[in-house]
Amino acid sequence: MEEIEDCRKKKSTYAIAELLTACLAMFLFKAESRNGLNNLREDLRFEKNLSASL
């Protein structure tokens, strides 16, 4: 992911790789938002599924 060009005009606090990883996780875990993804992380099933996917 580091090879993807960051074409944003202003530099962000987050690296492009971090944003892409968060977007991919939101899609895979069907989270509606980054906050929703954070809330899902507290679920034990989520933790088990995340460990299995890595």
- In the chain, where the domains are located: 16-53
User: What is the pTM assigned to this prediction?
Assistant: 0.58
Unique residue bearing structure tokens 């005009």: 9
- Provide CB contacts within 8 A for 1, sequence distance 6+: 16, 17, 20, 21
Which residue is it, tokens 């987050």? Answer: 14
Rounded average pLDDT over 35-44: 77
Residue 24 has pLDDT above 80, yes or no: yes
Q: What is the pLDDT of residue 18?
A: 86
What is the average per-residue pLDDT within 13-35?
85
Looking up tokens 């996780």, which residue turns up?
25
**Rounded-to-integer distance, Cα 29 and Cα 54, Å:** 13
